[in-house]
Amino acid sequence: MSGTGVELSHRAMAMLRAVAAHRAQMSRSCEPDLFIDGFSCCDQVTAHALARGGLIRPADRASALARVPAELTEAGRAAIEVTAVA
């Protein structure tokens, strides 16, 4: 569990690693969908939780495009670092 209250399952961590590797895009909706390697992520519930929990966000906040690159927040980077050390 992170400080944001988002349960970080193995799947959630894999999603964070894909974002960190610049392989992810997300929609700019109020419940943003995550796309990895151009494909819709199979677990949008977890993708929504990562966004709501402040671990990922759209990298391009000025664009009105349907999909924009996704990026980790400080909390998202910290979550990856904690699991890399453990």
Between CA 80 and CA 67 the distance in angstroms is 24
Between CA 20 and CA 15 the distance in angstroms is 9
List pLDDT tens digits, range 6-48: 559 999 999 999 999 999 999 988 888 999 999 999 999 999 9
**Given a cut of 90, is residue 61 above it in pLDDT?**
no
Q: What is the pLDDT of residue 40?
A: 94
Higher pLDDT, 66 or 72: 72
